[in-house]
Structure 1
Amino acid sequence: MMGKLIWHEWGRLLALASGSYMVWASFWAFFYRKFFWDMIGGTLGPAGIIPGNNTKPLVDIVVNIPLLQIFTLLFSLFALMLEWPLPMIKGTGLHRSFLARVVVYFLAGFVGIMVYQTVDCAIYFVITSMVYLRAHMLGEIMRDTRSRNGEA
């Protein structure tokens, strides 16, 4: 017989993978700036798709000012900080809260879906937020790692 799935442990692995992936993708997004949804209302030009006027504000905060890249980098670093906590954060209410993780990871996915390089990891972050929401709905609690290893 197989064991029971511990949802928040699976969510932790997903968050670590998508957080590290988004850090890497954010750095690439600083150098190769592209708005992912530029095909909506865009026209085909000699250098590829030219975004339409309806997406100009989003193109401005992705291409001209890399604001969304900065936010994706900050969200991914915050996700890694939650999953690999510093000693001062470990055991605090923020570290043990599943709902805080659901909100942070959903926001990371929402912001990351706008930048071309971070679309995949943004989808992984949305999946991670759903996994943590399921863990919260099942009533799972996050225990301290020392108590799981049998140490005092």
Structure 2
Amino acid sequence: MGVLVWNELSRYVSLTASAYAVWASFWGMFFRKFFWDFVGGILRNPGGIQCVHISPISWAFVLMSRRPSPRARVFITVIVKVPFIQIMTTIVGFFILALEWPLRPVKGTRFHRSIPLRIFLLAFQAILALLFYQGTNASLWSLIAAVFYIRALTLGESIGPWKEQRGTVGQV
């Protein structure tokens, strides 16, 4: 049997998580909702601030108007009013994709071979993606990829220099 190469496994999980984070941030720009809005009140774009409350007498859904917590004002500003968190998640996701599926200018550089940089970027992406509603799955998979990279570091794995495959067409 072979030996599991943890940095390759984490590379594939990181590619998937970053692609999903970019996709979720695009959806988050159109449907702006932050993940923790159920604490104070539900914020919806066409309907304003709403809260769904179950009546203890008839078990019917009653729509009640309630203002969100003043502590959520920061989240409302950077996620709902101006999609700053979604834009930052898109930028970080594209940067991780450029590292994991290396672009030509990034191939073989110190940044491309740095596992701690990838752990930091994945943790940052996980924090950003957790703040808006559509990015929670991307956040979870980014954390899983970061844990896999940490396991690769503890086992002493490294990403070697990029090797060009040189050969002629049709040669086996």
Answer whether TM exceeds 0.5 for this pair: yes
* CA deviation profile, 1:5-45 (whole Å, cap 9, x unmatched): 11000010001111111111111111000010111233725
In 2: Cα distance, 1:30 partner to 1:77 partner: 16
In 2: Cα distance, 1:105 partner to 1:50 partner: 34
Gaps of 5+ in 1: none
In 2: Cα distance, 1:48 partner to 1:28 partner: 26
Shift of residue 87, structure 1, vs aligned partner: 1.4
In 1: Cα distance, 2:65 partner to 2:119 partner: 37
Partner in structure 2 of residue 140 of structure 1: 157
Partner in structure 2 of residue 113 of structure 1: 130
Partner in structure 2 of residue 65 of structure 1: 82
Partner in structure 1 of residue 45 of structure 2: none
Contact kept, 8 Å, 1:8 with 1:132, in 2: the verdict is yes
In 2: Cα distance, 1:32 partner to 1:49 partner: 21
Shift of residue 50, structure 1, vs aligned partner: 5.6
Percent of aligned pairs sharing the same letter? 35
1:96 equivalent to 2:95? Answer no
Partner in structure 2 of residue 3 of structure 1: 2
Contact kept, 8 Å, 1:41 with 1:54, in 2: the verdict is no
Relative to total residues, which structure has the larger helix share, 1 or 2? 1
Task: Name the aligned partner's letter for residue 61 of structure 1.
Answer: V
1:35 equivalent to 2:34? Answer yes
- List, as ranges, runs of 4+ consecutive aligned residues in structure 1 with deviation greater than 6 Å: none
Gaps of 5+ in 2: 43-50, 53-62, 168-172
1:129 equivalent to 2:151? Answer no
Contact kept, 8 Å, 2:113 with 2:161, in 1: the verdict is no
In 2: Cα distance, 1:120 partner to 1:48 partner: 30
Relative to total residues, which structure has the larger strand share, 1 or 2? 2
RMSD of aligned residue pairs (Cα, Å): 2.2
Normalising by structure 2, what TM-score? 0.79
Contact kept, 8 Å, 2:107 with 2:162, in 1: the verdict is no
Question: What secondary structure, in the 3-state scheme, does the structure 2 residue paired with 1:146 have?
Answer: coil
Q: Which has the larger radius of gyration?
A: 2
